[in-house]
């Protein structure tokens, strides 16, 4: 087999379902925006700041990992700042060969300078539109859908769900809950999920990352999640083989084709898995779960979609066939309409991988 080159992974089309806007800022942008608002950073050298984020996020605990977001959220409190961050996000993803991305953030965390929730969403969506237009002009087209996140420790999920539905025709394609998982089960937000189902809207839930099977079970069987954010702890319901034996919940997730938004580097940093080679993605792929590969937080992990793919190539010996499978899985699981998903699969993804596979 011909070795896969990193620059070819960058060129090939990729689809990304789980990426946080406030976890993907350019370090130089954090420095500039912090200077404008007088926010104190651990260092004002962009390179050193990039390293600081990765080291601080390498904490082995989700709670400590999340503390690093104080510095990004602090500089994302005005419409121009939100718009800039979203525009740069679109450009960075497109330059990395991402052709479809769903990017999420929590509007309730961006109200410190008195923006309304609607103004926050409008600024971010405008930034994505602007960035996508610039990316298309540069020859790297990207389609971006926005997901609105509610923080699971707070009590604004119904309000954020209504906000998402209000903006469904202008860029918002889904809803999510995030934040510390232990002690904050998805059923705390059942009203919001039931509302979204009545609205025929889409949602994913961060579940099975820092907490195990009960969280996944609630997300799917109580709340009706379309996808699982991480969901990596589903392996706790698989008895190692050979052959591996699936418990009832694992079988349900696999057989219903519920997409797993796996984020390899992030999982190592929060201690959910020991290392990339130990990541259950290998087992879950072999068992034909609907596995997708994601970045989670590019700044905190010092990563990109191409880098996550390359890490899996190194750890599991994957080739273009597997990278295409992950990409098509993600595209099939996207929250945009079916005909748009199919168009990207048939006209963008398959022709590009077809050339490499030939
Ligand atoms: O991996 C994660 N698990 C739970 N919460 C997360 C993760 N990555 C980011 N967040 C939180 C921190 C952000 O401020 C928030 C919205 O993007 O979502
Ligand atoms: Zn996440």
- How far is CA 281 from each of CA 61, 165, 216, rounded to the nearest angstrom? 20, 33, 17
Q: How many of the other CB atoms lie within 10 Å of CB of 10?
A: 18
Q: Which atom belonging to ligand 1 lies closest to the Cα atom of 149?
A: 16
Which tokens go with 235? 């392996």
Contact by Cβ (8 Å): 54, 98: no
Closest ligand (CA of 62): 1
Burial class of residue 321 in the structure, from the number of CB atoms within 10 Å of its CB (0-12 exposed, 13-18 middle, 19+ buried): exposed
How far away, in angstroms, is 156 Cα from ligand 1 center?
16
Top mutation candidate among 206, 208, 219 for ligand 1, by most atoms within 8 Å of CB: 206
Residues in the ligand 1 pocket, defined by CB under 6 Å: 20, 22-23, 62, 66, 69, 73, 104-106, 109, 149, 178-179, 206, 209, 266, 296-297
Residue 33 confidence (pLDDT): 98
> Which residues are bridge partners to 105 per DSSP?
148
Q: Which atom belonging to ligand 1 lies closest to the Cα atom of 104?
A: 17
Catalytic residue among 181, 209, 261, 308: 209
First-to-final CA distance of the chain: 12
The 10s digit of each residue's pLDDT in 244-296 is 999 999 999 999 999 999 999 999 999 999 999 999 999 999 999 999 999 99
The 10s digit of each residue's pLDDT in 170-222 is 999 999 999 998 899 999 999 999 999 999 999 999 999 989 999 999 999 99
Q: Whose CA is nearest to atom 5 of ligand 1?
A: 179
Contact by Cβ (8 Å): 142, 100: yes
User: What is the phi-psi region of residue 297: left when phi exceeds 0, alpha when psi lies from -120 to 50, beta otherwise?
Assistant: beta
Strands (E), the chain: 14-20, 98-105, 143-151, 172-178, 204-207, 227-230, 238-239, 245-246, 260-262, 291-293
Q: Does pLDDT of 164 surpass 90?
A: yes
Q: Whose CA is nearest to atom 18 of ligand 1?
A: 178
Confidence of residue 2 (pLDDT cuts 50, 70, 90): low
How far is 233 from 15, CA to CA, in rounded Å?
A: 23
Which tokens go with 221? 């069987």
Residue 1 confidence (pLDDT): 55
ipTM for the complex? 0.99
For range 139-153, the mean pLDDT: 98
Residue 155 confidence (pLDDT): 96
Q: Whose CA is nearest to atom 1 of ligand 1?
A: 296
- Look at the pTM and tell me if it is higher than 0.80: yes
In terms of DSSP H, where are the helices of 38-78?
A: 46-57, 62-67, 69-73
Confidence of residue 241 (pLDDT cuts 50, 70, 90): confident
Confidence of residue 151 (pLDDT cuts 50, 70, 90): very high
HEC readout, 128-158 = HHHHHHHHHHCCCCCEEEEEEEEECCCCCHH
How far away, in angstroms, is 21 Cα from ligand 1 center?
10
Which tokens go with 220? 């799917």
Q: How far is CA 41 from the centre of its chain?
A: 25
The 10s digit of each residue's pLDDT in 299-347 is 999 999 999 999 999 999 999 999 999 999 999 999 999 999 999 999 9
For range 51-71, the mean pLDDT: 95
Which tokens go with 22? 């406030």
- Asked if 209 is an active-site residue, the reply is yes
Q: Whose CA is nearest to atom 11 of ligand 1?
A: 179
How far away, in angstroms, is 109 Cα from ligand 1 center?
11
Residue 4 confidence (pLDDT): 94
The 10s digit of each residue's pLDDT in 72-108 is 999 999 999 999 999 999 999 999 999 999 999 999 9
């Amino acid at each position: 087999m011909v070795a896969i080159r990193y620059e070819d992974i960058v060129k090939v089309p990729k689809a990304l379902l789980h990426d946080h806007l406030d976890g993907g800022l350019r370090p130089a942008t954090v420095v500039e925006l912090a200077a404008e608002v007088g926010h104190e950073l651990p260092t004002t050298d962009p390179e050193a700041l990039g390293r600081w984020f990765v080291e601080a996020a390498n904490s082995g605990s989700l709670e400590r990992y999340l503390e690093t977001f104080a510095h990004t959220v602090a500089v994302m409190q005005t419409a121009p700042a939100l718009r800039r961050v979203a525009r740069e996000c679109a450009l960075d993803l497109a330059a990395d060969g991402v052709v479809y991305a769903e990017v999420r953030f929590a509007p309730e965390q961006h109200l410190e300078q008195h923006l309304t929730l609607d103004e926050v969403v409008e600024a971010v969506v405008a930034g994505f539109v602007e960035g996508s237009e610039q990316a298309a002009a540069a020859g790297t087209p990207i389609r971006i859908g926005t997901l609105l996140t509610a923080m699971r420790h707070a009590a604004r999920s119904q309000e954020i769900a209504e906000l998402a539905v209000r903006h469904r025709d202008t860029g918002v394609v889904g809803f999510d809950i995030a934040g510390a998982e232990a002690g904050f089960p998805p059923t705390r937000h059942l009203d919001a999920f039931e509302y979204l189902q009545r609205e025929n809207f889409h949602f994913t839930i961060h579940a099975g990352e820092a907490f195990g099977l009960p969280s996944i079970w609630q997300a799917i069987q109580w709340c009706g999640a379309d996808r699982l954010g991480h969901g990596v702890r589903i392996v706790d319901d698989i008895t190692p083989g050979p052959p591996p034996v699936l418990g009832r919940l694992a079988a349900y997730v696999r057989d219903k084709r519920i997409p797993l938004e796996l984020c390899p580097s992030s999982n190592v940093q929060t201690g959910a898995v020991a290392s990339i080679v130990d990541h259950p993605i290998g087992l879950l792929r072999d068992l034909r779960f609907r596995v997708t590969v994601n970045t989670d937080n590019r700044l905190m992990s010092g990563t990109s979609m191409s880098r996550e793919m390359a890490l899996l190539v190194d750890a599991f010996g994957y080739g273009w066939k597997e990278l295409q499978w992950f990409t098509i899985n993600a595209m099939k699981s996207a929250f945009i309409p079916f005909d748009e998903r199919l168009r990207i699969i048939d006209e963008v993804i398959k022709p590009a991988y077809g050339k490499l596979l030939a």
